[in-house]
Amino acid sequence: MPLWTIHLEGGPRRVNHAAVAIRDYIFSFGGYCTGEDYEETTRPMDVHILDTLSLRWRLLPAPDSYDKKNGDIPYQRYGHTAVSLDDCAYIWGGRNDKDGACNILYCFNGVLLEWSKPEVHGCIPGARDGHSACRNENKMFIFGGFEEEIDRFSNEVYVLDFNTMTWSYVKTYGTPARWRDFHTAVNVGCKMYIFGGRSDEGGDIFTNHEIYSNKVHMLDTSTSTWSELSITSSIVPSGRRSHSAFYYDGLMYIFGGYNGIYDQHYNDVFALDPVRMAWREVKIKGNQPCPRRRQCCCVIGSCVFLFGGTSPKDQPARNETDLIDHSDLYVLDFSPSLKTLCNLAVLEYKLDTKCLPMSLRWDLSAMTTNNTISRSCNTNG
C-alpha cells in the first residue's frame, strides 16, 4: 500500500530543474526560481544534493572561476534533461533567457563531484528545451522538445551511444508521436513510453493554439517503430504538460502537471499497466503534494522523492505572477516499514505515547499532526 510518508520544507526552491538518483543521493541540476535574473548575468549551473538517508540538502560550492564558452561546466538553465550511468549524470539541452538553448553534452561525476564536457561525434541534435531523455543500457534516446534556432516543435528521435560518444539520428517507422514539448518519457526494457506534453494545432509550427493529448505512444527502440497504444480502461488521465513520470514494479506512474486550455494544475496519480494497456487512478493516503507542475521525481528502492515545482496561488492561475515556487520534498513509499505505519497510526488516531520508550517518543516529536513525518531541512547541510 503506497503512502505519502514524509514532507519536508526548506530545500532548494527550484522549478523546471532536472534530477537523477546516484546511489543513496539525489542530484538536482539547474532550474530557476521566480525573480532570479537570467537576462543580465550568466552563471554556472547549480547542483543541489539530497542525502536520502539523512534527508538533508546541501548546495555544491560554485567554482572559483567560470568560462561559459570553453569550460566544462554548463551555464544555468531550465528545461534540460539528465540521465545517470555508472555514477555519472549526463546533462543535455535546456535554455535560459540570456544564452538561449544549448546542445552540448555535459557529465557530472556523482562520486568525485566534478564536471566534464565529453567529446562527442556524429549527428548532434539541434539545441532545444522541453524534450525528454531515456537511458536504455549504454544509450540515451531523446525525443521532441522545442528547437530554438528553427523555431519549431520536434517529433524526432536521436540517440547517443555512450560507448563511442556518437550521436545518431533515428529513422523511425510507423506514425510518430505528435510534435511536442514538456512531455514525459519512461523506458521499460527496449520500449520508450511517451505521455502528455504541449502540442500545437500547427504541428511542428507554433501557432499558440495548444493541444494536450492524453494518448500514449510507444517507441520500440530495438526496431525504431512507433505505435499508439490502444487503452482498454475507461479511466484515463487528462492531457497535461510539465508533469512527472516514473516506473516502479511493472507500472508507469504519472503525477501532477498542467493543462493550459483549462488552466488547471493537478496533483493526481495515475498508473499505466503496459501489459494490460490499462490506466487506473491511484488514491494514496497521507499528506500529498498540492497541485503543481515542473517538479522532479526520482526513485530509490521503494521510495519516490518528489521536490520543487510551481503552483497557483489560487486555482486557476491567471498569469505567471500568480504562481508560487516550492522548496518542499515529499516521499511516496510503496513499501512502508512497520515503524512508519505505527507512527502514522499514532498521529491519525492521536494515541497516547507516554508508555513508549523515549527514543520512539523522540521520533514522534518530529512529526506534525497532518499524518506525515515532517520537519524543516537545511539546504546547507
Give me the helix-helix angle, 358-365 and 338-349, nearest 10°: 70
Mean pLDDT for the stretch of residues 183-207: 94
Mean pLDDT of the chain: 90
Give rounded-to-5 percent helix, strand, coil for the chain: 5, 45, 50
Out of 123-132, 246-255, 321-330, least confident range? 321-330
From CA 8, how far away is CA 295, in angstroms rounded? 15
Q: How far is CA 80 from CA 76, 100, 130, 365, in A?
A: 10, 12, 7, 39
What is residue 336's predicted lDDT score, i.e. its pLDDT? 84
Q: Which residue has the higher pLDDT, 377 or 340?
A: 340
What is residue 381's predicted lDDT score, i.e. its pLDDT? 42
| CA nearest neighbour of 51 among 17, 28, 71 | 28
From CA 198, how far away is CA 168, in angstroms rounded? 25
From CA 58, how far away is CA 261, in angstroms rounded? 38
Spell out the residues 6+ positions from residue 166 whose beta carbon is closer than 8 angstroms to its own. Answer: 120, 121, 122, 160
What is residue 313's predicted lDDT score, i.e. its pLDDT? 84
Take residue 366 and report the three cell numbers written for it: 518530529
From CA 309, how far away is CA 271, in angstroms rounded? 21
Mean pLDDT for the stretch of residues 323-346: 84
Q: In the structure, what pLDDT confidence band is assigned to residue 177 with cuts at 50, 70 and 90?
A: very high
Q: Given a cut of 50, is residue 215 above it in pLDDT?
A: yes
From CA 35, how far away is CA 375, in angstroms rounded? 26
304-316 pLDDT per residue, tens? 999 999 999 876 6
